[in-house]
Copies of this chain bind each other. A is one copy, B any other.
Amino acid sequence: MTDRSIGHRDKRKQILDAAIRVFADHGYHRARVGDIAEDAGVAHGLLYHYFASKDDVLRTIFVENWGELIARFRAVEAADEPAQEKLVGIAKILLRTWRNNPALVTVMVREVARSQELQAQVDDVGEAFAIIQRVIEEGQATGMFRRDVDARLASWLVYGGLEEVLTGWVLGQLPDGEEDVARAESTAIEVALRGLAV
């Protein structure tokens, strides 16, 4: 029984993981349901047992993983730290996810973050920006960040800078060794903080 119920989860997880890899490699539209099934080592019909459609697979990837990211963002936001530190924390979360699961980041960055439909469907997308924005506003309120900068816009600038670094790694255009990632992290954080600093 337990065996069987674990089996369920297993196959579902296998499909999801395979989808992340395949979407990352070929892009959502070029990826075929058959490719995902093959990568997962299951018959393609099984995909429809766990998911309503190919689209639903992407949506699931997004919801399950973005939700986790947001949860960690929220934890940082709620922490009792100065705004600067919070921004550092958020940048670290974003960049380090890459090391854990590059394919996942690729999919999130390439397919989800730029898709109008998905963004419209899921409220969580804007939440990431909202958290960054609130942290910046907090910094402005406590006098650590300049007030003549629109916090909303700044959140997009900051997020964009970080995402582009991820993209550079995704595309293999920026070095992504252990040290490189660490250096990128501190550089990005410093530039951002100084840019916003009073």
| CB-based contact B27/A126 at 8 Å | no
Q: Judge whether A158 is part of the interface by a CB distance below 8 angstroms.
A: yes
Given contacts A150-B187, A161-B161, A164-B160, contact A171 B119 (CB under 8 A): yes
| CB-based contact B113/A183 at 8 Å | no
Q: Judge whether A69 is part of the interface by a CB distance below 8 angstroms.
A: no
Given contacts A158-B161, A160-B160, contact A153 B183 (CB under 8 A): yes
| CB-based contact A165/B160 at 8 Å | yes
| CB-based contact A191/B114 at 8 Å | no
CB of A53, distance to nearest CB on chain B (Å): 14
A114: which of B149, B150, B167, B188 is its contact (CB, 8 Å)? Answer: B167
Q: From DSSP, what is the main secondary structure of chain A's interface residues?
A: helix
Q: Judge whether A156 is part of the interface by a CB distance below 8 angstroms.
A: yes
Measured between beta carbons, the chain B residues less than 8 angstroms from A29 are 28-29
A195: which of B168, B171, B184, B194 is its contact (CB, 8 Å)? Answer: B194
A173-198 Cβ-contact flags toward B at 8 Å (1 or 0): 11000000001100110111111110
Measured between beta carbons, the chain B residues less than 8 angstroms from A27 are 114-115
| CB-based contact B149/A187 at 8 Å | yes
| CB-based contact A150/B197 at 8 Å | no
CB of A22, distance to nearest CB on chain B (Å): 14
- A28, A126, A164, A167 pick with most chain B CB within 10 angstroms: A164
CB of A25, distance to nearest CB on chain B (Å): 9
Q: Judge whether A109 is part of the interface by a CB distance below 8 angstroms.
A: yes
CA distance A191 to B151 in the complex (A): 11
Chain A residues within 8 Å of B, Cβ to Cβ: 27-29, 109-111, 113-116, 119, 126, 129, 148-150, 152-154, 156-165, 167-168, 171-174, 183-184, 187-188, 190-197
